[in-house]
Structure 1
Amino acid sequence: MGPKSIGQTGNWLLAPPQSGASNFPSPIFIFIENTFDFAIIDRVSTSMQNKFLLPVALVSVVLIGVFGGTLHQDKQRVYELTMATGTKTGYYYPFGQGIAEVVMQQNPRLRIKVVETQGSDENMRRLEANEAQLAIVQNDTAAVPQARVIASLFKEVFHLIVSEQSGIESVSDLKGKHIALMAQGSGSYSSFWFVSKHYGLKASDFQYTAGSWTEATNLFASGEADAIFRVLPLGNDLVRDLLQNTPGKLVPIDQAAAMKIKLPYLQADLIPKGTYKAAPAVPDVDLPTVEVQATLLVRKDVDPVIVKEITRILFEHRRNLVAANSLAAMISQPSKSGGLALPVHEGAQAYYDREKPNFIAANSNVIGLSFSFVTLFVSWLLQLRARFLQQQKNRADKFNLIILNLIQRSRQAETFEEIDRLQEELFEIFKQVIVDLDEERIDADSFHSFTFTWETALKITAEREKVLRNWSLASHDLKADFTDVKKMEE
């Protein structure tokens, strides 16, 4: 069909050579020969591709198997984390146990091991040393680089409990007294030294004993200790029992706003009247004090997916947590004003941002406007390109028309001089086309189309020249024969 259709659309271009022409191959023969060559090349190329694709396919199957197995193992993997809390008689340890139990109930692949510690300072050190991946600390604890925030857990306030006979009415009156403190490494221990320093007290101004709550209450009940300092949740049962069974009272800590200047994470708060005893009320007035937040921390290198899942369970299964520990009712997203000097972990932040619109939704108007501008710009570029390509095609068509005219003139040429002029014109046109190709006034496809027409024209002029040469020889022979006949007649 190919050669036949070409002949139908331009049979004058593929006219067979006249009698006496040379054996120069015709354009149809060239076309068939090139087509055959391309078929062979294509078959060889296909064979090479098949040989190449087989190992690629095998490698792909192996990789899919490996990745599939890894993905399956990852889905079955159990993640174990260690949580640093506090003493078993305090509040952090049971709270941490409640979190660990609910997390495992909701996601059996997450296992949290709760460990007993002295408190916030030790927990921070364990977090930094990677001895624990989770920790509960007071938010006034000195932070470490590895720590990140998950959530605020519950509120704690400073309690200064003094005996009735001690004569202590304010923090400043602790001078010369004996104070029972929490063990070193706890948040309460550090908080006391911050408060005492604020009120101008030095370690040499009083005696102190660091130990457990039991040790502190024994010293207090026996009269050996004049005061107990603890940071505990409001309404705490240990404080209630102590105040109801011993002649003790609470002393105000009324300079929270001033302390906040140095430690911005502190907040002013009140111990409401009658919190620990109704009649007579203890305290007998709303008592000013200082508030801190118990905060759940995580190492920054813990997988964000794991942290997001823990955060989700804390907030979406709070009822289960409250059943385990009533303080869980106060779990909240950390605020910028009341949190640690630490960023929120990216996994927890991902949970908090779950209902926020994504970037595309939040910037839909700007994106839509930008897309419109880009569409218009691309459309303009495409139009320019189409116009440029059309110009290239038009110029190539112009040269092809000139060549076609030269072919027609070649077929009608009667002298060798005409043939020479036509050939010179052909080469001049070819030079011009080469220049236009270099300067991108015509494209490569148009150039290939032109060269086919140009070569055909050159062959036709060569054929015509040979025809004229044969005619010239024949004419010369006829003249010679005629001369010989004439001589014989004479």
Structure 2
Amino acid sequence: MQSKFAIPIVVLSVLGAIAFAAQWTIERQRVYSLTIATGNADGEYYAFATALSSVVAAHEPKIQIRVLETDGSLQNAKLLAESEADLGIIQGDTSLDPSVQAIAYLFPEICHLIAAPSANIRQFTDLRGKRVAVPPQGSGSYPIFKHFQTHYNLMDSDFRPLPMTTAESYEKLQAGEIDALFRVIALGSPSVRGLLQRTQAQLVPIDQAESMRLTLPVLEASEIPKGTYDGALPIPDEDIPAVGLRAILVTRRDLEPAIAKVITQTLFEFRNELVSQYPRAALMRLPDARENLGLSLHPGARDYYNQDEPAFLVEYAEVMGFLLSFAVLAASSLWQFRRWLDERQKNRADMYNLKVLALLEKVEQASTPEELESLRQALFEMFHKVVTDLDTDRISQASFQSFTFPWDVVLSTIRHRELLMSRAMDYKDQKPEMRR
């Protein structure tokens, strides 16, 4: 019977091992093809995604990322929600489907208000009566401009908003057909540099970032440093206040955690390679635990961010050591204080006992009832003091009990001495014949 079942069992075991090995080999050789939704081919999102795809492929050949040109954040969010893209780059204020999760903060994007040199625009409110190129409706930057417009109390009737693409706005500013343009773009953008150098256009300060955050928390106070777009002239000629928000790399919730972790790892551990292809990648930073990305972190990204967190005992070893040392010091101090208090109470009780013994000696030396009465009063005054000290914890209960014994002895001695003196006086007063 054993030989009858042995062969099938061996065959099944071998087949199972072969299947397991084949599955393992397939997984090892599997290539993950991902699509990242970006923006216009001449934009910052596209340039960053191209650099990321190149660096990921160099270190993880099994992950291939195809860079997809799109119209920007809103389309990227739609492609992710419809599972037509695996990754996407969005502005921090973009509304997303719950199925989309964050991987990392990327570079900051700065709100640029650029005015023609002859437009006499020095601040945002100077846009009244001007022709202003604004982002197209449906773009990620359009809601930001509308938010600024509301904040500065500008109505559409106060100026002439002209929705157009970035390339069109640059051409029309250079041709003198508009007075200003508004764009949200990465700091140091080559296209902005070229525009400013060609036209002598001016960067207009945008301040009040903190008050704008009250209604749009993703905004953050920033600045455009002196010389950002030309160090020789320089452009700008001084640091000017600005408002910015972060670009965020996002993915679908169903992306395998291991893949998301590899991409997150590439962003921060191979940053130098990213920077060599896209310099603004140097501005990436790890998310702060106190901040809110506006959406949840993908588990794979969270695994990477938490991998270096120490165990609880290690992380709080210093605090726990301090608390333990403090507890030991406090216990020692309490013990020392108790010893001091006990010693103080004992010394005070000993003082009373010595005084009682001194009274006892005086009682034995007293020769008149008046002296004994004076000693009795002193004895009761001392008893009153001892009771008061007992109530105020200046002596202990045990010390009080030890005091009452010699006190009773002295009181009994006084009474005995008084009796002897009374008998002696009675005897002295008797007639001589009665003494016989």
Work out whether the TM-score is over 0.5.
Answer: yes
**Residue of structure 1 aligned with 2:281, choices 315, 328, 339:** 328
Distance 1:51 1:172 in 2: 93
Q: Are residues 1:356 and 2:348 paired?
A: no
Q: 1:210 maps to which residue?
A: 163
| TM-superposed deviation, 1:201 | 2.6
Counterpart residue identity of residue 116, structure 1: E
Q: Per-residue CA shift, 1:36-71, capped at 9, x if unaligned?
A: xxxxxxxxxxx5x77667655544433332222112
| TM-superposed deviation, 1:330 | 2.1
TM-score for both structures, normalised by structure 2: 0.67
Q: Are residues 1:175 and 2:128 paired?
A: yes
Aligned length: 317
Q: Are residues 1:62 and 2:10 paired?
A: no
Counterpart residue identity of residue 253, structure 2: K
| TM-superposed deviation, 1:270 | 1.3
Distance 2:201 2:50 in 1: 32
**Residue of structure 2 aligned with 1:261, choices 207, 210, 214:** 214
CA RMSD of aligned residues (A): 2.5
Distance 2:290 2:243 in 1: 15
Q: Identity over the aligned pairs, expressed in percent? A: 42
Distance 1:209 1:123 in 2: 24
- Match of 2:226, SS state, is coil
Distance 1:240 1:362 in 2: 47
Q: Are residues 1:88 and 2:41 paired?
A: yes
Distance 1:78 1:310 in 2: 14
| TM-superposed deviation, 1:282 | 3.2
- Match of 1:220, SS state, is helix
Distance 1:268 1:138 in 2: 16
- How does 1:113-124 map onto structure 2 within 5 Å? 113-124=66-77
Distance 1:279 1:103 in 2: 37
Query: For residues 77 and 363 of structure 1, do their structure 2 counterparts lie closer, same or farther at Cα, with a shift above 3 Å needed?
Result: farther
Q: Which moved more, 1:280-289 or 1:338-347?
A: 280-289
- Match of 1:99, SS state, is helix
Q: Are residues 1:163 and 2:116 paired?
A: yes
Q: 1:193 maps to which residue?
A: 146
Contact 1:118 1:183 in 2 (8 A): no
Query: For residues 67 and 279 of structure 1, do their structure 2 counterparts lie closer, same or farther at Cα, with a shift above 3 Å needed?
Result: closer
Distance 1:260 1:117 in 2: 28
Distance 1:136 1:239 in 2: 21
Q: Per-residue CA shift, 1:394-453, capped at 9, x if unaligned?
A: xxxxxxxxxxxxxxxxxxxxxxxxxxxxxxxxxxxxxxxxxxxxxxxxxxxxxxxxxxxx
Q: 2:184 maps to which residue?
A: 231
Q: 1:295 maps to which residue?
A: 248
Q: Which runs of 5+ in 1 are unaligned?
A: 1-46, 365-490
Distance 1:247 1:313 in 2: 40
Counterpart residue identity of residue 170, structure 1: Q
**Residue of structure 1 aligned with 2:175, choices 219, 222, 226:** 222
Counterpart residue identity of residue 233, structure 1: A
Q: Which moved more, 1:288-297 or 1:208-217?
A: 208-217
Contact 1:293 1:338 in 2 (8 A): no
- Match of 2:293, SS state, is coil
Query: For residues 360 and 154 of structure 1, do their structure 2 counterparts lie closer, same or farther at Cα, with a shift above 3 Å needed?
Result: same
Query: For residues 67 and 316 of structure 1, do their structure 2 counterparts lie closer, same or farther at Cα, with a shift above 3 Å needed?
Result: same
- Match of 1:356, SS state, is coil
Q: 1:101 maps to which residue?
A: 54
| TM-superposed deviation, 1:127 | 1.2
Query: For residues 131 and 207 of structure 1, do their structure 2 counterparts lie closer, same or farther at Cα, with a shift above 3 Å needed?
Result: farther
Contact 1:139 1:339 in 2 (8 A): no
- Match of 2:161, SS state, is strand
Contact 1:180 1:211 in 2 (8 A): yes
Distance 1:312 1:252 in 2: 37
Query: For residues 113 and 230 of structure 1, do their structure 2 counterparts lie closer, same or farther at Cα, with a shift above 3 Å needed?
Result: same
Contact 1:220 1:226 in 2 (8 A): yes
Q: Which runs of 5+ in 2 are unaligned?
A: 318-436
Contact 1:147 1:297 in 2 (8 A): yes
**Residue of structure 2 aligned with 1:344, choices 297, 319, 323:** 297
Q: 1:249 maps to which residue?
A: 202
Counterpart residue identity of residue 289, structure 1: A
Distance 2:293 2:69 in 1: 22
Distance 2:255 2:95 in 1: 21
Q: 1:78 maps to which residue?
A: 31
Distance 1:188 1:327 in 2: 20
- Match of 1:191, SS state, is helix
- Match of 2:141, SS state, is helix
- How does 1:8-47 map onto structure 2 within 5 Å? none
Counterpart residue identity of residue 238, structure 2: V
| TM-superposed deviation, 1:281 | 4.0
Contact 1:86 1:118 in 2 (8 A): yes
Contact 1:119 1:185 in 2 (8 A): no
Contact 1:143 1:341 in 2 (8 A): no
Distance 2:204 2:193 in 1: 15
Q: 2:99 maps to which residue?
A: 146
Q: Per-residue CA shift, 1:141-183, capped at 9, x if unaligned?
A: 2232122111112122111011232232222222332211334
- Match of 2:49, SS state, is helix
| TM-superposed deviation, 1:285 | 3.2
Q: Per-residue CA shift, 1:319-358, capped at 9, x if unaligned?
A: 2211211112222222345553112111111112222246
Distance 2:295 2:3 in 1: 58
Distance 1:80 1:52 in 2: 46
- Match of 1:261, SS state, is coil
Contact 1:137 1:296 in 2 (8 A): yes
Distance 1:138 1:280 in 2: 31
| TM-superposed deviation, 1:278 | 4.6
Contact 1:311 1:351 in 2 (8 A): yes
Contact 1:256 1:267 in 2 (8 A): yes
Distance 1:332 1:167 in 2: 38
